[in-house]
Amino acid sequence: MQTQTPPHTRLASRDVKKLAPGLYPAVVALGDAAEAASLNEALIALVNLRVSQINGCAYCVQMHMTDGLKLGVPPEKLTLVVT
């Protein structure tokens, strides 16, 4: 009996664009709307991080962790988002 390789949780953005062409523009539009509403950039980074955790996307979690650090969000705060 052969075992199947489990699907990867990390997808490149180009793969997401192929699998769900309407999804990527919608996510970008949502981010643009949050920025246009003058929401705090650090808060947006924390929300994006949590959404990525819920979605199980390791690539996006790492990206939003990096974004948060660049914006000056303390590492302790970033690591506690999941709790």
CATH of the domain at 23: 1.20.1290.10
CA distances (Å), 36 to each of 33, 41, 44, in order? 5, 11, 12
Q: What is the pLDDT of residue 8?
A: 53
Question: What is the Cα–Cα distance from 32 to 39, expressed in whole angstroms?
Answer: 11
Q: How many domains does the chain have?
A: 1
Residue 44 belongs to domain spanning: 13-79
3 in a structural domain: no
Tokens for 77, please give them: 């705060």
Average pLDDT over residues 64-72: 94
Report if pTM > 0.85.
Answer: no
Task: Assess contact for 44 and 73: CB atoms under 8 A.
Answer: no
Kindly report the backbone phi and psi dihedral angles of residue 74, in degrees, each rounded to the nearest multiple of 5, phi listed first.
-60, 140
> pLDDT higher for 14 or 65?
65
Q: What is the pLDDT of residue 2?
A: 54
Q: What is the pLDDT of residue 50?
A: 93
Q: What is the pLDDT of residue 34?
A: 86
Confidence of residue 81 (pLDDT cuts 50, 70, 90): confident
Tokens for 55, please give them: 């979605």
